């Protein structure tokens, strides 16, 4: 479980946006693993900042809750290529194997006690072939000491039926570990909360959107890539699956955005904002 050790920080402070009749917990400290910090771009200070994080954004498109050794990922969409092939679209194999290898490496590198998938582990029932199930089960059998929990997504229509075959320890519609709530779709995350529950939740962590950030270089070149996106007390994880599309997120004045690469996580908030608001 996540402990009550959350600290206010000038980087992620959001007190001004709180409703006057409701006090929510301060935002957790979020840091990017190995990110440079002011005054010490490559040195020990960066590691110190990461060590103090409540949520650590990882290269490879995952995030870690160090206190509970929980690895967070979202939107693997396993079986998507098989779904396309069944529809007669010639998509090559290999993306799922690569994604599972990357996930296994993250589990081992960070000694994760639990993997929490924030929805859309699977893509469609038609893509849950025996080969797809066998590949995932082999991955699962190599990580027998790590719990695996799925927060059901809109694509996970076959997940409950296949839970035992896949080796899932639990399938839930949402998971509250105050001050964090884990869901697939953030938009409906607090719709049915009573006042006490709503007050206890300081940050919603979600998937579904497949966020991408658009950047423009000094020479005018443009590119878009996957990102972690934080806004309005919602942290949206990038799609973990390689064979997924993406949605360009709006960069508001209160938003923060980190480029999610396989080899680095970079805070690009200032670069992503329109020049008139930098």
The domain spans of the chain are: 15-277
Which band of pLDDT confidence, cut at 50, 70 and 90, is reported for residue 238?
very high
Q: Which of 4, 121, 137, 118 is nearest to 72 (CA)?
A: 118
SS (HEC) of 167-221: CCCEEECCEEECCEEECCCHHHCCCCCCHHHHHHCCEEEECCCCEEEEEECCCCC
Task: Please give the share of the chain, as a percent, with pLDDT higher than 70.
Answer: 74
Q: Does the structure show a pLDDT above 50 at 34? A: yes
pLDDT digits 0-9 by tens, 189-212: 766 676 667 678 889 999 999 999
Mean predicted confidence (pLDDT) in 16-32: 71
d(CA 60, CA 264): 8
Comparing 141 with 83, the larger pLDDT belongs to: 141
Residue bearing the bigger pLDDT, 192 or 132: 132
**Token code pair at residue 201:** 């939740």
The pLDDT assigned to 129 comes to 82
Please give the pLDDT value at position 42.
43
85 has pLDDT over 60? no
Higher confidence at residue 244 or residue 235? 235
The better pLDDT of the pair 222, 30 is held by: 30
| Architecture of the domain delimited by 15-277 | 4-Layer Sandwich (3.60)
């Amino acid at each position: 479980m996540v402990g009550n050790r959350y600290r206010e920080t000038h980087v992620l402070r959001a007190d001004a946006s709180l409703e006057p009749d409701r006090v929510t917990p301060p935002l957790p400290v979020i840091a990017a693993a190995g990110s440079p910090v002011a005054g010490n771009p490559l040195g020990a200070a960066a590691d110190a900042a990461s060590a103090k994080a409540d949520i650590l954004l990882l290269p490879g498109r995952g995030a870690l809750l160090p206190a509970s050794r929980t690895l967070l990922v979202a939107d693997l969409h396993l079986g998507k290529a098989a779904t396309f092939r069944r529809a007669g679209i010639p998509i090559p194999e290999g993306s799922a194997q690569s994604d599972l290898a990357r996930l296994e490496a993250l589990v081992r590198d960070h000694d994760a006690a639990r993997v929490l998938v924030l929805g859309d582990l699977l893509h469609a029932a038609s893509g849950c072939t025996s080969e797809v199930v066998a590949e995932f089960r082999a991955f699962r059998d190599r990580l027998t000491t790590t719990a695996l929990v799925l927060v059901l997504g809109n694509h996970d229509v076959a997940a409950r039926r296949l839970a035992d075959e896949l080796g899932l320890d639990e399938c839930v519609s949402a998971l509250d570990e105050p001050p964090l709530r884990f869901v697939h779709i953030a938009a409906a995350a607090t719709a049915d909360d009573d006042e006490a529950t709503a007050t206890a939740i300081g940050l919603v962590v979600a998937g579904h959107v497949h966020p991408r950030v658009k950047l423009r270089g000094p020479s005018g070149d443009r590119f878009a890539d996957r990102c972690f996106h934080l806004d309005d007390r919602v942290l949206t994880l990038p799609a973990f699956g390689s064979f997924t599309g993406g949605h360009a997120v709006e960069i508001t004045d209160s938003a923060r955005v980190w480029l999610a690469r396989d080899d680095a996580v970079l805070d690009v908030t200032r670069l992503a904002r329109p020049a008139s608001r930098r």
